[in-house]
Amino acid sequence: MYLERISSPEDVRALPSSALPALCEEIRRAIIESSAAVGGHMGSNLAVVELAVALHRVFETPRDKIVFDVSHQTYAHKMLTGRAQAFLDPARYEDVSGFASPAESEHDLFAMGHTSTSVSLACGLVTARDLAGESYDVVAVIGDGSLSGGLAFEGLDNAAALGSGIIVVVNDNEWSIAPNHGGIYRNLAELRETGGRAECNVFRALGFDYRYLENGHDVAALEGALAELRGCDRPVVLHVHTQKGRGYAPALADPESWHHATPFDVESGLPAVPGASVDYARITGEYLLGRMADDPRLVAVSAATPYIMGFTPEMRERAGSHFVDVGIAEEHAVTYVTGLAHSGAHPVLGVYATFLQRAYDELWHDLCLNADVAPATILVFGASAYGTTDATHLGFFDIPMLGAMPGLTYLAPTCREEYLDMLSWALAYENGPVAIRVPVADVVSRPDFERPAGGYARGWEVVRQGCDVALLALGDLLPLGEKIADALAEHGVRATLVNPRLATTADEDLLGRLSAGHRVIVTLEDGILEGGFGERVARALACDDVHVRCYGLPRAFVDRYQPDELLASCGMTVEGVTADVLDLLGA
Amino acid sequence: MYLERISSPEDVRALPSSALPALCEEIRRAIIESSAAVGGHMGSNLAVVELAVALHRVFETPRDKIVFDVSHQTYAHKMLTGRAQAFLDPARYEDVSGFASPAESEHDLFAMGHTSTSVSLACGLVTARDLAGESYDVVAVIGDGSLSGGLAFEGLDNAAALGSGIIVVVNDNEWSIAPNHGGIYRNLAELRETGGRAECNVFRALGFDYRYLENGHDVAALEGALAELRGCDRPVVLHVHTQKGRGYAPALADPESWHHATPFDVESGLPAVPGASVDYARITGEYLLGRMADDPRLVAVSAATPYIMGFTPEMRERAGSHFVDVGIAEEHAVTYVTGLAHSGAHPVLGVYATFLQRAYDELWHDLCLNADVAPATILVFGASAYGTTDATHLGFFDIPMLGAMPGLTYLAPTCREEYLDMLSWALAYENGPVAIRVPVADVVSRPDFERPAGGYARGWEVVRQGCDVALLALGDLLPLGEKIADALAEHGVRATLVNPRLATTADEDLLGRLSAGHRVIVTLEDGILEGGFGERVARALACDDVHVRCYGLPRAFVDRYQPDELLASCGMTVEGVTADVLDLLGA
C-alpha cells in the first residue's frame, strides 16, 4: 500500500508516475471506508482525489500555498500531508476534523468551512508575497458550488486587478450541495461542452488567462496542466471537469443526498442508523407544500440547502415555481426575498443560522429597512448548541445578530404545534419581517397548544406560576426549565416558568410583575451570552431589587464538542441551576 | 421652464422630444444649485440626468418598476416624479431625502443607500410578477462602482438563471467613489473601447443579452434603446457610457472629491465652509504613511473609501504598494486582510461602520476564526450618532455586531493621543484581531496621555475616583461623562468616572470593585442599547446589590435626525443623567 508510507508531500513527489492510479484508488477507498464509519463529505471528496495528488506533485507546500475553498473537500489533501492514518485506522477516524485546520498541519493555512473565501484569502497571500519580494506559488481551489457566492466574485475581480501571479483551480463537478443554479454555471457548462473554447468566458472577461482540462481524473494530465502554471506571473484559471461521487456508485447516482453522508453500509449504501421518521425539516416542507395549494403567493426560497426545509427533489418538483433555489448566495437570497415581498408575494426563506451571517447587512439594510413595504418570513435552522458542532459552522450566534435588526420579530418556538402556528401567523403578519428559530432538538409535541389571543408580536407566556424564582427558558430549553422547576419544588422552592417566545424582545410588563413577585430571575438560552436574550432581561431589571442570573453559551470557537458537555460547562444542567438558585435564594 | 410644470412622469412623456435637452439642462442646474446649498451626491447625479428622463419616457412607473442602485443618484428621478420643487425652491431643499424613499413617493420602491442591491431586488419583483401572471417591466439601474460588490454578481447570476424578462441598465461612469478597481471594470473599459463588440463580455458570459450605448447623454438615443427593450422576456443588459460630473467643470476635473460635496460656491467650486484643519481621517492617514516608511509589512486597505482614512490621491501615490483599494467589496476586504496577515503583513483596513455590516460573516468566519494565524487591525469610522444621519447609513449598530466576534478586541479611544497609541499597540498585537472605534466628534487632545502598563487587551481606566456613583462613559462620550460628574459634584454627589476603553468586554475585576463601592452604576454609549456595552455591564452585575442604569441609542431606523436631539431623546444630556442619578440615589 502506497498510502501508508506517505508521511509528507515529499513522499508523494517521490513516487513514480506509474504508482499514482493505485494511490488514488487507495485514497478513494479510505474516503469511503472512513465516511461509512463516521460520516463525511463523500461526494465532494471523491471528486478531487486526483486533483489533490497532482497539486502535491507540482507544488511544494507549505512553501507554496494552496487554499481549498470550503475545505470540506480536503480529505485527500490531509492524507497526503501526514494524516493518512486518520483515514486508514478506524481507531483514529476522529483524530482529524472534517475541514482544514492550521492546528493539525502547516499544510492547512486557514480554518474554514463557509464557501467562496479561497480566492480572497489567496489574494492576501499574493500581496503579502509581493511586498516581501518572495516568489512562491499561490493556488486557490474553488468549485463545488462556491462560485455563485458573491465573495468568490469579489475575490476573482480583485485578483484580476492585482495582476500578480495567482492560480485559481476551478473544480467543476457540476453541483452545489443541490444542483447548481445561476448564470455562471451555464457558462461553465458551455465551456465544458466546447472543451473550453466557447466565446463567452466569464474568467477571460474578468481578465484571467484560462485553461481547460476535460478529464479531472487523469492524474498525469492534471500534473502536466498544473506544472505549466508553476511560477506564473499573471492571474490564471485552470478549469477542471470532475465527477462528484466518483468511484462510489450510490454517490454517483444521487449526488445531492451523498454531498454529506451520515454513517452508512458500504455494500448497500444504506444509512447505518435510520433517520428520524419526523423532524423539523420534514414538518416544515410538508406544511409549506400544503399551504402552497391554497396560497398562490407563497414562495419558499433556499440558498442551496433545500433539504433543511424538507424540500426533497420530489417535493421541489411538486412545488414548481413556488420553490426557488438561488444557489449558494445568501446575500442575494435575503435581498431577493425583500423584492418578492414588495410585490405581494409571501416569501419564506429557510437558511442555516451560520450561513445567515453572510446576509447580515441584507437583513438590516434591505429586509428590515423596508419592513413597511416588504414583510417576509425567515426560518433559521441549526441555531443551537445541538446543531453542527464544528467551529466553522456554529449556529448559536444568531440572537445577537438578529437582535440588532430594527423591527424584526424573532420567535423561538418550544414545540411542533407552536412552531407551525408561529409560521402560519408570520405568513399573515404585515407589520414587519419575522424570523423563527426552528427547534433543533427532538420534536416535542403539545397537542393542547393554542395560539395566544394577541398573536406573537409581543408578550411572553407564563407556563407555570410560582413565586420564589422565575425561570425564563427560551425555545428548546423549555424542557430544561421544566425539569429545574420540578427539582426546585423538591426543595420547597416554587418556580414560575416562562416561555418567552420572543428571543430578542423583552416583555417589559411581565418582567415588571416578575420582578415585583420574585427574588431571583433566571434566564436560560441556547445561544451566546454576549448580546443575547439574558442581557436584555438583565438590563431591563438592572434598577430593580431582584437578582438576575443569565445562563448561555460562550462567545468562542468551540470545536467538535459534545453539546451536553458544553451546556454543562456553562452551568446549564438541572443540578447546576438548581444549586445556584438555592444559593441565590439563601435557601 | 419645463421642470416646474412636471408633477408626474406622465408630464415627462407628454413633452415633445425637442424639449428634452432643455429639461435636462434645467435638472442639471437644479442639482448644482441645491447641492451647493445643502450638499449632495453631485458627480453621480449629474451623470444620469438624461438616463432618468429617458427611463421615465419609456417606462410607466409605478406600474413598471425601476430600482436605482444605491439610490444616491435619484435626484433627477425625484424631480420627474412630483418632487421638483424640493430641488428648485431653496426653502424646500430639505423636504426630500438624498436617497430613494417609499415614504416620499410610490415611484420609489425601496429605501436603500448601500450598493449592489438593485439586481437582487429586481429579481424578487420579477418572480412575484411572474407568479401573479402580470406583465410589467422590471428595470435595475446599476453602476457608479456597484458592480464590484458581490451581491451585484449574485443578483446577475440569479437573474440569468431565472430566465424571465429583466432589464439591467449598467450606468458606466468609469468611477466608484474613487477610481474603479477590479477585473469587471477592465471588461467594461474593453467594451467601451470596442463599442460593445469585445469578445470578452462578462454579461453575455453569464447569460444576458447585451446592448451598448456610447453616448449616455443623448436622451433621444437612450429613449430609443430603452424602447426596444420594453416587454422583453429575457434578461438583458443595456450598457450606457456616462460622464461623472457632467455639466459642472470642477466635478468633471476631480470626480473623486465631487462624488459627494458639502455646501459650496457654484462659481468657484470652493467649499462654503472650510473643512476642519485636523480630523481623524487626516490624523489616521498621516500616522499610517509615516509608519510605512519604517514598517515594510504595513498595508493600508480600503473598500472604495480611501478618504475616510485620510488617503488622498497624493498620499496613495506616496504609499505605493502599501495602499490597496479593493473597490466596493467589503466582504473581500476583510477576507483579503486575513490572507495578508497570515503571511506576516500588517494590514490595517479602514471602513465605515455601516458598510462593515456587509462583512459580518467574513469577520467571524475568516478573520476571527483565524485569529491565531492572521491578526489584523480594523479602523471603524462613523460609528456614532454623530456620523451619517440617513437611516440607510446609520453607524451606531457596531457594538452588538463586533461584540459577537470571538477573540476580537474592540477599542474605543477617547482622544487623539489614545487613538494613535491604540493603533500603534494594535499593529504590534499578535493575539488576535483588533478593531478601533475611531472617534467621530471633534478632535480632543490629552497631551499628558500615557499608555497603560498592561496595554489595551483588558482593563478599564478610572479617570476620576468618587464613591456614590460610577459613570462608565464609552469612547467619545467621555466628555459628557466628565460634565455629568461635575454637575453631580454640585449636588454633593461624588462620581467615579471610568474610560472603559473596551467596547465589548467587561473588566470584571474593576466592575466588582465599583459594585462594592458605589450604589449606582451608569453606562453611557453612543450606540444601540440592545446587545451593547451597557447590557454587558448589566449582566455582569445582575446578582449584585447595585443599581445599573444604561443609556444608549434606539434600535430603530431614525432618519435625518439631529444628533444632539437624538441623544437627548434617550436621556443622554448632562441634566437628564444628573437628575436620574440623584433620583436613583434617593438624594
Q: Average pLDDT in the A490-495 region? A: 98
Q: How far is B166 from chain A (nearest CA, A)?
A: 13
Q: In B278-407, which residue ranges form alpha helices assigned H by DSSP?
A: 280-294, 313-319, 330-342, 353-356, 360-361, 398-403
Question: Between chains, do B182 and A205 touch, taking CB under 8 Å as contact?
Answer: no
Would you mind telling me the total number of residues written for chain A in this entry? 587
pLDDT at A181 over 80: no
Q: Average pLDDT in the B368-387 region? A: 95
* A186: nearest CB among B111, B207, B336: B207
Q: What is the pLDDT of residue B174?
A: 87
Burial class (CB in 10 A: 0-12, 13-18, 19+), A500: buried
CATH of domain B281-437: 3.40.50.970
Question: Between chains, do A400 and B531 touch, taking CB under 8 Å as contact?
Answer: yes
Q: How far apart are CA B157 and CA A423, in angstroms?
A: 30
B461-584 and B3-253 share a CATH fold: yes
Q: Does B322 touch chain A (CB under 8 A)?
A: yes
Q: Average pLDDT in the A152-175 region? A: 95
Q: Does A346 touch chain B (CB under 8 A)?
A: no
Q: Does B130 touch chain A (CB under 8 A)?
A: yes
A-chain CB neighbours of B347 within 8 Å are 124
Window from B207-211, B280-284, B351-355, B444-448 with minimum mean pLDDT:
B444-448
- Tell me the pLDDT tens digit for each residue of A393-419: 999 999 999 999 999 999 999 999 999
- Tell me the pLDDT tens digit for each residue of A422-471: 999 999 999 999 999 999 988 999 999 999 998 999 889 999 999 999 99
* B182: nearest CB among A126, A157, A539: A157
Q: What is the pLDDT of residue A501?
A: 98
Q: Are A62 and A8 in contact (CB under 8 A)?
A: no
Q: Average pLDDT in the A168-180 region? A: 84
pLDDT at A145 over 90: no
Yes or no: is domain B3-253 CATH 3.60.20.10?
no
pLDDT at B274 over 90: no
Q: Which among A539, A580, A583 is the top mutation candidate for probing chain B, defined by the most B β-carbons within 10 Å of its own β-carbon?
A: A539
Q: What is the pLDDT of residue A177?
A: 66
Question: Between chains, do B400 and A397 touch, taking CB under 8 Å as contact?
Answer: no
Counting residues of chain B whose pLDDT is more than 90, the rounded percentage is 93
Provide the edge-to-edge strand list for the sheet that holds B209-213: B65-68, B138-143, B166-172, B235-241, B209-213
Q: Average pLDDT in the B392-419 region? A: 98
Q: How far apart are CA B534 and CA B524, in angstroms?
A: 7
Q: What is the pLDDT of residue B9?
A: 98
Q: How far apart are CA A531 and CA A403, in angstroms?
A: 8
pLDDT at B178 over 70: no
- Peptide linkage before A62 cis (omega within 30 of 0): yes
- CATH fold of A280-437 reads Rossmann fold (3.40.50)
- Peptide linkage before B62 cis (omega within 30 of 0): yes
Q: What is the pLDDT of residue B175?
A: 81
Q: What are phi and psi of A418, to 5 degrees?
A: -65, -40
Using only C-alpha atoms, what is the Rg of chain A? Answer: 26
pLDDT at B181 over 80: no
Q: What is the pLDDT of residue A144?
A: 80
3-state secondary structure at position B337:
helix
Provide the edge-to-edge strand list for the sheet that holds A434-437: A323-325, A298-302, A346-352, A377-381, A434-437, A409-411
Q: What is the pLDDT of residue B176?
A: 67
**Partner residues linked to A469 by β-bridges:** A495, A520
Yes or no: is domain A3-246 CATH 3.40.50.10190?
no
Domain spans, chain B = 3-253, 281-437, 461-584
Q: Does B316 touch chain A (CB under 8 A)?
A: no
Q: What is the pLDDT of residue B180?
A: 72
Q: Which amino acid is at B346?
A: H
Q: Does B366 touch chain A (CB under 8 A)?
A: yes
Q: Which among B67, B331, B528, B561 is the top mutation candidate for probing chain A, defined by the most A β-carbons within 10 Å of its own β-carbon?
A: B331
Q: Is the alpha carbon torsion for B413, B417, B422, B427 positive or negative?
A: positive
Q: What are phi and psi of B509, to 5 degrees?
A: -60, -50
Q: Which three cell numbers stand for residue B177?
A: 467613489
- Tell me the pLDDT tens digit for each residue of B540-561: 999 999 999 999 999 999 999 9
3-state secondary structure at position A570:
coil
pLDDT at A277 over 80: no
pLDDT at A577 over 90: yes
Q: How far apart are CA A369 and CA B540, in angstroms?
A: 32
A-chain CB neighbours of B327 within 8 Å are 157-158, 161
pTM value surpassing 0.90: yes
Among A395, A352, A326, smallest CA distance to A150 is for: A326
Second-level CATH architecture of A461-585 = 3-Layer(aba) Sandwich (3.40)
Among A24, A34, A33, smallest CA distance to A54 is for: A24
Q: Average pLDDT in the A122-130 region? A: 97
Q: Which amino acid is at A221?
A: A
pLDDT at B434 over 90: yes
Helix A533-540 vs helix A508-517: crossing angle, to nearest 10: 70
Q: Does B72 touch chain A (CB under 8 A)?
A: no
Q: What is the pLDDT of residue A274?
A: 77
The full DSSP string for A59-73 is S-TTTSEEEESSSTT
For chain A, give the mean pLDDT. 96
The full DSSP string for A163-197 is -S-EEEEEEE-SBSSSB--SHHHHHHHHHHHTTT-
A-chain CB neighbours of B363 within 8 Å are none
Counting residues of chain A whose pLDDT is more than 70, the rounded percentage is 99
Task: Label residues A283-305 b or e (16+ Cβ within 10 Å = b).
Answer: bbbebbbebbeeeebbbbbbbbb
Q: What is the pLDDT of residue B522?
A: 98
Q: Are B450 and B314 in contact (CB under 8 A)?
A: no
DSSP assignment, residue B261? B
- Which B-chain residues 166-185 have CB contacts (< 8 A) with chain A? 181-185
The full DSSP string for A239-270 is EEE--TTTT-HHHHH-TTTTSSB-SB-TTT--
pLDDT at A176 over 90: no
Question: Between chains, do A326 and B549 touch, taking CB under 8 Å as contact?
Answer: no
- Give A309's pLDDT tier (boundaries 50, 70, 90): very high
- Give B177's pLDDT tier (boundaries 50, 70, 90): low
- Tell me the pLDDT tens digit for each residue of B297-353: 999 999 999 999 999 999 999 999 999 999 999 999 999 999 999 999 999 999 999
By DSSP bridging, strand B166-172 and strand B235-241 are parallel
Q: How far apart are CA A62 and CA A57, in angstroms?
A: 13
Q: Selecting from 3.40.50.920, 3.40.50.150, 1.20.120.160, 3.40.5.90, what CATH number does the domain B461-584 have? A: 3.40.50.920
Question: Between chains, do B157 and A148 touch, taking CB under 8 Å as contact?
Answer: yes
Q: Does B225 touch chain A (CB under 8 A)?
A: no
Q: Which three cell numbers stand for residue A191?
A: 465551456
Q: Which amino acid is at A46?
A: L
